[in-house]
Each structure stands twice: as structure tokens, then as C-alpha cells.
Structure 1
Amino acid sequence: MKHTLHATLLALTIGLAGVGSAAAADYALNPYTLAYDGAITRNAPGEVNIHPVTYPLDGIQIAANVYTPAHYDPAKKYPAVVVAHPNGGVKEQVAGLYAQRLAEQGYITIAADAAYQGASGGQPRSVDKPALRIEDIHGMADYITRYPGVDSARLGLLGICGGGGYSLAAAQTDKRFKAVATISMFNSGRVRRNGYVDSQLQTLQQRLQQASEARAQEAAGGEVQYTGDAKLTDAQIAKLPYDLYREGFAYYGKTHAHPNSTFRYTTSSLLDLMRFDATDQIALISQPLLMIAGSKADSLYMTEDAFAKATGTTDKELALLDGATHIETYWVPRYVDTAVGKLTTFYGRTLAQ
């Protein structure tokens, strides 16, 4: 049972919460279904506005939200930031929070649902392959650099949790991104392969066999198999061994839940995930790099590993949010404020005219 539970938990790529302490952010009460505190409820002149958009990417319709700064004038030129959401997350959660907060600082920002996920198109649902997630980031850059008022020479990238790992991969070759930042970076390939905190090395080949069988079943026209469908009670969640999972269940399942957000992904995706690593070829990143993480996050080892391997840039900083866990970096006001302050300074310097 222990190994089964851990295997199920590999589906998680969390974003933020604190069991019993996070304020509810009810998506149903927001006209844009935004599930974070302080979210925009209407577009008003002279304020930060939100613009739901869709665009095609490799034959799939992508759903995104563009945020424009206060007093936005399309005749002017603004720096822009692409924001990549966590695994299992959607644009209405933490990615939207940071996109809105950066728009408040004068940036045009975009947060899009990954292909096959959220409100974006693609079948079967909840495919989670690194190549697709990386292409999503390139696609957001394609769209936002042509948006009225965007200065394409001042484009930044922010990846959160799993989106952070994929952002590192995208930035290796996409030099449209002039500055790269991550928050609570999660190396999806390493965790799917080795288990969280490298705790499942002994079952690696067994899980690969299961993924291979799931792929064969799909190819034969059979039912699509999914990983991460666990329905745990509060008591079971409380006994989980890692803060990331305990707090993640609360954030995604209760305090900041959204109907388009799900932990599950196609089991066959593991064939791609388990041979991926966010740090592979990371030395190709030559842009300025800022990596933010909670000092008490049990996922911190992934940020530290990536930061050490990012030898292609000398302009890099590892910033720790004192006392924060992985999930808390996504909603706790004091941690979000500190992170936004770091990001504003970083992008202000690296995306200057």
C-alpha cells in the first residue's frame, strides 16, 4: 500500500497552499473564474485589465489570459513576461496571480493553459509531455510578442513549479527570452523517474513497464489510462510524508480549487516524462537567471541542483524566501510580495530599455 500511495503521489506537481491557513479563493465568484485572492473582477479604465484570448498552436486552440498594466496604451512599448503554470495547475491559479502582480508593475503578461489541459484543446485530455509543455512556452512567446504595445526585445520568462522546469528547458534555445526566472522549480522528469526526493528508485523499471503497457493499450484503441486519480480523505492527506503533497491537496482541492485543474495525467506520458530532465543542457542558458524558492520547501533540492548546473550564465541569483514551503510561495501574501519584489527588480534591470 505504501508504494502504491507514493506512485499515485508522483502525479502531483503542486503550486501552493497551507492546510487550514489559506483563505478560500472561490473561482465561482469571479467573472473570469480566477482562483486567487485579489483577482481582477472587472476591467476598469486606468487599472490593470485582463483579456481572455485564444490562439492556434500546432493545430490546437490555446486558451490564455493577457494582463495589461494600468493606463495601458497600445501605441506605447512595454516589456512583457510569459508565465508558465505548474503541472496540474491552470492559468486561473498561481500563474494568474503572478501575471497580475507583474502587470501591476508595468508589464504585459500572459498565462496560458497547456495544450491538452485546462481550457485549451487537445485529445485525449491531460496529456503531460515535456515537449508539449516546452512548445506551450514558445507559443506564448509567439503570441505575446505580437500583442499591441509589446516590445519584443524586452521579453521575460517566469516558470512556476513544473512550469519552472519547462521554462529552463525552453530558455536554453529560445533567445527571445532575455531574462529567466523560476519560483519553486519542480523538475518533472526527475520526480516522475526517481520519485519525490528520489524516493522511488527501486520501482523505476516497474513503472516504466506500466507506462509502456498503457501506451500499447492506447495504440490499440483501448481505454486511456491515467495516473494521479487518488481520492484521499483529510486523514490520509495529513499522513502524507511531504509538505508539498499535504499542502498541495489543500490548495488544489479546497482553498484555490478550479474545475479545470487536475492532478491526473495520461500514464503513457511517463514514457516521455521519465527520460526528461530539466537540467539536461541547462548550460545553454546564457540569459540572466533568477531562481526563487522557499527555504523550508522540501522541493528546494531541485532548485539548488539546477542553479548549480546553470554554468552558462554568470548573471544568476538564488533567492530564498525565509520560512516558506513550496506551496506557500504561491499564495501567502508576505512570500508573494517578497517574490514579486525580487522579480520586479530582476526584470527591471534585465529588461530595461
Structure 2
Amino acid sequence: MSSTKHVEIAGAGLAGLTMATALAQRGWSVRVHERGAELREIGAGIYLWENALRALEAIGAAEAVTSRGERINSPELRDHKQRLLQREWLRDGRLYTVLRRDLHSALVQAATDAGVEIRTSSAVIGAGADGSLDLADGSSVKADLVIGADGVYSRVRDTLGLTQQITNLGDGCGRHLVPRTDDDPVNVAWEEWNGGRRVGVIPSSPEWTYLFLCCPEDDTEGTAQQPFNRQTWIDSFPSFRSQLERVPDMPEGRWAAFSDVVTRHWYRGRAAVIGDAAHAMSPNLGQAACTAMANSIALAQSLDVHDIDTALQVWQRSEKPVVDRVQRYSRMYGKIGTRWPDQALGARSALIWSLAKAKPFQRRIQFAAGYFPTLDAASGPVGAGR
């Protein structure tokens, strides 16, 4: 009888593929279930901070990703009067911006190279604490460990009874790619705020620039991004006219709301959740995907040195407080960006400028970028856990 451990994973997104590759490289037998008929990602860009880059390095996928991306030396934030408020986010470590589809393709390749089996058109409808995964075709599969990486509305999380709360944060954004021109920044990410609206212009590959257009959900003109209400955004951000005019009338991207997922626990028995299924958050700090990938590596590290039950306890006890803290800071930052009275925009600018100069605050709000788990070196008594 084989001693090889087997894991079944629901979801072939960024967290699921990182998890799959990390375990396969450690000798596990791995199968991933993807509900879609093909493996794909949305046409948008993504920030990869130091923690995400180290996660990619841990599975040997970093070079394939960064070779197509842009090294950012200065992320800049300006206010409604185009005054520079912040370029201090990148004090330590690295930051790359890449296309999500390039990142996803590299993760698919890394998983395939590691021997991961990926099944498309294989929808998961639930999981059991005994290490079972229930599929939409009526079948059930059993493993030493099952993992739900199946997003905000995770069936794995819900059927395990791990969901505490899913909160619509009241704001969101549209994500768009436009052909890159000489009008766009090089090795710099631009962001500008005007009222409750925020625009980002981020070079993400030699050919493409990524735009994010964020606003509260009650800003009906701003949320109209498919078809694209171009003029309302040009009126708010005239300095970005060149980029906004390149957004197609019917772009691939549409406005979507941000959500927070709060879970009671990250696992029950031999079933766990990762990524958005465990801790979805707004992308205000650029850490939603970064923490998801780093946390996947953390679970693999813990499984390196502990039996499965102990590994899950150690992983949750160590990493859940870290991710909960990132989620809180991201929520707070979003409220400053979108829920601020128009008559007090000058005060907001002064606040952001002063916080940018406060090194202790900078370290607190950006701590996740410089944090990377080392659970494969952890030792000592295990807490009560779950």
C-alpha cells in the first residue's frame, strides 16, 4: 500500500494552483477540480509584493512571471488636485506588476510540471470533514486532505460550516487592460483619488497597461463600465484622459463589488479553505492574492514537519492572525478612499500626506508585504486549535 499522501483541491485559481504545486513538489499526489471548461484568468493586472514573489520563488515560478512583468520602483498616490501625497509604500522589498493571465499561466505550468492533475468542467458542491469532496456529477472523492480554493462563495467553506460573515463593502472597481503607449508610466504606478473615485494606471507588460477604476456602488455613473461611461471618468480625472480614451466602449472588464469573507476557522477535520474562500478582502493594499499565495506556502510548510491534524492547527494558529490583520487594514484604507465627505477632501489629503511620513504607521499598514511564513522551521507545543 502506497504511503504517498493524496490531496483533492477545489479551484484552479492563484491560491489553488500555488497550493497544488507546493504539495506536489513535496511528494503528494494532487488533483485539482476546476468548474470552468478551460483554465483562464480575467484580463487585468495584479500587484506582486515581496511576499507573493517569495511564494512564487518557493515553487520555482518567479522567473516565468516577472520576466513578463514590470518592476515598480515608485508607487505614487495623488489627490484631486494632482498633488503627490504618497510614494513611500515601497520602503523595503520588491514590487512587480504583471498580467493576471501571465501569472495564472505560469502557475498552471508549474503545477503541470510538478505532476498535478487538473480536471476542468469538474464543479465541487461540498466537502466533508472526513476528507471527502462532493462533485456536481453526483460522485464523491476521498483524500488524506481536501482543500477549498473555490472563491468568495465557496461551497467547500459553507458545507463545512466555517463561514462567519460575507460582507459587501459598498465599493468596488472595474479592471481594464489598454494598449501601452509612451503616455504611460515606466517603472512607476500612478494612482489618483477624487472624492470616492480612485483610478490606477499600472504598466503590467511590454504591451499592456492595467487600469483600475474604483468607486462606491451608489455611484451609478461610475459603476457603468460595460458599456463604458468614459466621459464621467475623464471629468473626474482629466490628467488620465489618454488612458481612459483607450478603454473600449465594451471592455472585457466590468465593475464588481469588493467583499470581505470572515471565517470562524480555516479548517474542520481533514478539510481546509485557502485564498478568497478563507479570507477574501478588498484589493486596497494589493494584498488579497499575495497573502493567498503566501498562506498556501505556509500550509505546505506546516505539512512538511507535522502530521496533517497537527499541521492544520499550527498553520491556523500562526497565519490566521496575520491575514485577519491585513484584512482589517485593507478595509480601513478603503473607507478613507471612498467614504470621505467631498467638503473635507483637503483634510483627507493632509491626513494621507502625514501618514506617509509616519514610519511606524507605514510599517504597520505594509507589514504583510515583508512577512513570509517559516512554519517548516516551527517547533514547540501546539495550542488547542480546532
TM range (shorter): under 0.3
Q: Normalised by the size of structure 1, how large is the TM-score?
A: 0.28
